Amino acid sequence: MNRDTNTRTELYELGKYKLLERLSDGIELSSNTIVGHGHDASAMATNSKLALSASGLMLEGVHFNLTYFPLKHLGYKAVVSVLSRLYAMNATPHQVQINMGLSRRFSVENLDELMSGAKLAAQRDGVDIVGIEAVSSYTGLTLSLNALGLCDPDALVSRTGAQEHHLLCLSGRLGAAYLGLQVLERERIAFEANPHAQPQLTGYDYLLERVLKPETRRDVTDNLRQANILPSAMTLVHEGLASALLHICQRSAVGCRVYADRIPIDPQATSLAEEMHIDPLTAAMNGGEDYELLFTVPMDKHETVAALPDISVIGHITTADTGAYLVPSHGDDIRITAQGWNAIAPE
């Protein structure tokens, strides 16, 4: 596609996802590739299974701040974040590769700590760490991970299968990771103003764990499988519920209605949000790093899916022409827009 080379479009004008769509324009997939760009992972056909690959990138100063992020927890979270993408495709992870960009301020002992967390996360999900690479960096710490998994051809779930009247289901509770980050940022600012001040972290254990040491939702895919439920569509909630909803709506060419009073928000997150004058629902819709699963199932699976542990039915799929809307307890419906973190927004 020819484009005017004299025209300059700033990255933030497109936003992350429109930019990725533009960059993938014109890429043709081979017949072996079943799922490509625009999903939580890619999938390739092999002799009897589908081989899936998911990647993740974490940059110091953008995705984490080592002022308050222990390296062991960072290694753990990095592995969880990339394995979660495979679970969102209903695949079983088997291998993970870890690539690091390192500045001279990191010691061997620092990296031992980082890898101890990565090894623990891999061990907990039965995944092999099959490759580690390290290169020098002038900009701090960079982590790039790639996870490989397998899935039966008839068990693969992507973002494209949602249909009208299907139920929207969500694992876990939202907003806690975002609120936990607000606590850490608050204490960081206080420390910079007064290095002798003691951090005020008592009572925030759950929120801090959600942001510093999240877990994969392997239990959710296992429970769905045991209940003989194959979601029609599924995606990872890691940049806010709004983004995840729009991913499914756009890829499946559908709309949705999500009921505000059905969105599960942790009581501790609600309490802190009110203390900080943050709308808890805004934190759930647009906060990030929850690593929960959003999926759809046919209406006749309602009783079965509602009985599963830690699953909430939060709405239903509509036709594309009706749009994607949040239905509040009072007042008019609100069009859903992705207002979460934008990796390429101007500072």
* Residue 147 is assigned to a structural domain of this protein: yes
User: Is residue 302's pLDDT more than 70?
Assistant: yes
Per-residue pLDDT averaged across 313-335, rounded? 96
Pick the last residue of a domain from 98, 120, 153. 153
Q: For position 273, what pLDDT does the model report?
A: 94
Burial class of residue 254, CB neighbours in 10 A (0-12, 13-18, 19+): buried
Same domain, 329 and 180: yes
Same domain, 180 and 52: no
User: Is residue 311's pLDDT more than 70?
Assistant: yes
Same domain, 312 and 286: yes
pLDDT in tens, 134-175: 888 888 999 999 999 999 999 999 999 999 999 999 999 999
Q: For position 36, what pLDDT does the model report?
A: 58
Q: For position 1, what pLDDT does the model report?
A: 47
User: Is residue 276's pLDDT more than 80?
Assistant: yes
Confidence of residue 198 (pLDDT cuts 50, 70, 90): confident
* Alpha-carbon gap, residue 256 to 163, rounded angstroms: 10
Nearest to 56 by CA among 84, 37, 89: 84
CB contact burial 259-289 (16+ within 10 A = b; e otherwise): ebeebbbbebbbebbeeeebebbebbbbbbb
Same domain, 171 and 105: no
Same domain, 124 and 177: no
Beta strands in 18-107 (DSSP E): 33-35, 42-45, 50-59, 92-102
* Alpha-carbon gap, residue 173 to 290, rounded angstroms: 8
* Alpha-carbon gap, residue 280 to 182, rounded angstroms: 13
* Residue 206 is assigned to a structural domain of this protein: yes
* Alpha-carbon gap, residue 235 to 159, rounded angstroms: 6
Same domain, 59 and 143: yes
Q: In CATH, what number is assigned to the domain containing residue 72?
A: 3.30.1330.10
Higher per-residue pLDDT: 2 or 258? 258
Residue 297: strand, helix, or coil: strand
> Into how many domains does the chain fold?
2
Q: In CATH, what number is assigned to the domain containing residue 285?
A: 3.90.650.10
Same domain, 75 and 127: yes
Confidence of residue 20 (pLDDT cuts 50, 70, 90): low
Same domain, 190 and 327: yes
Could you tell me the strand order of the sheet in which 233-237 lies? 233-237, 292-297, 167-171, 311-319, 254-259, 324-327, 334-335
* Alpha-carbon gap, residue 92 to 151, rounded angstroms: 6
> Residues in the chain, how many?
347
Find out whether 259 and 314 touch, Cβ atoms under 8 Å.
Answer: yes
* Residue 133 is assigned to a structural domain of this protein: yes
Give the domain range for residue 209.
Answer: 167-335
Q: For position 344, what pLDDT does the model report?
A: 45
* Alpha-carbon gap, residue 272 to 210, rounded angstroms: 14
Same domain, 171 and 122: no
The DSSP secondary-structure symbol of 239 reads S
* Alpha-carbon gap, residue 189 to 236, rounded angstroms: 31
Q: For position 30, what pLDDT does the model report?
A: 54
The percent helix, strand, coil of the chain (3-state, each to 5) is 35, 25, 40
Same domain, 198 and 284: yes
Same domain, 149 and 178: no
Residue 253: strand, helix, or coil: coil
pTM for this predicted structure: 0.86
Same domain, 318 and 233: yes
Pick the last residue of a domain from 153, 185, 215. 153
Please state whether beta strands 128-136 and 92-102 pair in parallel, antiparallel, or not at all (unpaired).
Answer: parallel
Q: In this structure, what are the phi and psi dihedrals at residue 37, rounded to the nearest 5 degrees?
A: -60, 150
Pick the last residue of a domain from 121, 153, 185. 153
- One-letter amino acid at 190 equals A
